[in-house]
Amino acid sequence: MVFSSLHQKGFTLLELIVVMVLIAITVSLTVPQISNFLYTDQLKVAVRHLVGLINQSSQLAQRQQAPYLLRYLESERRFVVEPEQKKETDRKIVDKDGKDRQKSGLQLAESVQVTDFWSWYGGTRTAAEFVIRFTKNGYVEPTVIHLRESGGKEISVVLSPFLGKVQVVDRYVVPEKNALLP
């Protein structure tokens, strides 16, 4: 007489507890590394979006044949693009979410901050005074934008005069006028 209950397979409670403890230990060891990765990633994402916004601003100035400004609004922690001289015919364009499209731009994450800016003619300025002017041809004066994440990692975005390239450097760059000449 064979009992079918003796041949059933399954996990014991002890085996399940051991597996759950191993999973908990693994998760507790990886969480600090994952959070560090996410903060660093937010800084890199912000820089990528900023470079895209800079390129879009240059193209917009060329297309409209009018000077445009890339302004940093410190109180809102946002970069916005706007025409240098607003016309009466310029209307607020509201998208389907009810937001002013002209105020759209780049909203920085809470862990990312703008430390300061350097420009060819203005020298070092605080974030509250920051404006980049794009000529009607899309050109810009040599500028360096310094960003920092809450963990201390810094990235510098270096703009060349003719926006032939935007250089991203993984440290705080102290600019020299002669080094930024074309």
Residue numbers of the chain with a pLDDT score lower than 50 = 1, 88-102, 178, 180-182
Residue 39 counted as domain residue: yes
Residue 95 counted as domain residue: no
Q: How many domains does the chain have?
A: 1
Distance CA(132)–CA(161), nearest Å, equals 11
pLDDT for the residue 21: 94
Residue 92 counted as domain residue: no
Residue 27 counted as domain residue: yes
Residue 94 counted as domain residue: no
Phi, psi of 34 (to 5 degrees): -70, -40
User: For residue 71, what is the domain's CATH number?
Assistant: 3.55.40.10
pLDDT for the residue 95: 40
pLDDT for the residue 94: 39
pLDDT for the residue 29: 85
Q: Give the domain range for residue 74.
A: 14-84+100-180
Residue 67 counted as domain residue: yes
pLDDT for the residue 16: 92
Residue 26 counted as domain residue: yes
pLDDT for the residue 65: 93
pLDDT for the residue 3: 54
pLDDT for the residue 129: 74
Residue 9 counted as domain residue: no
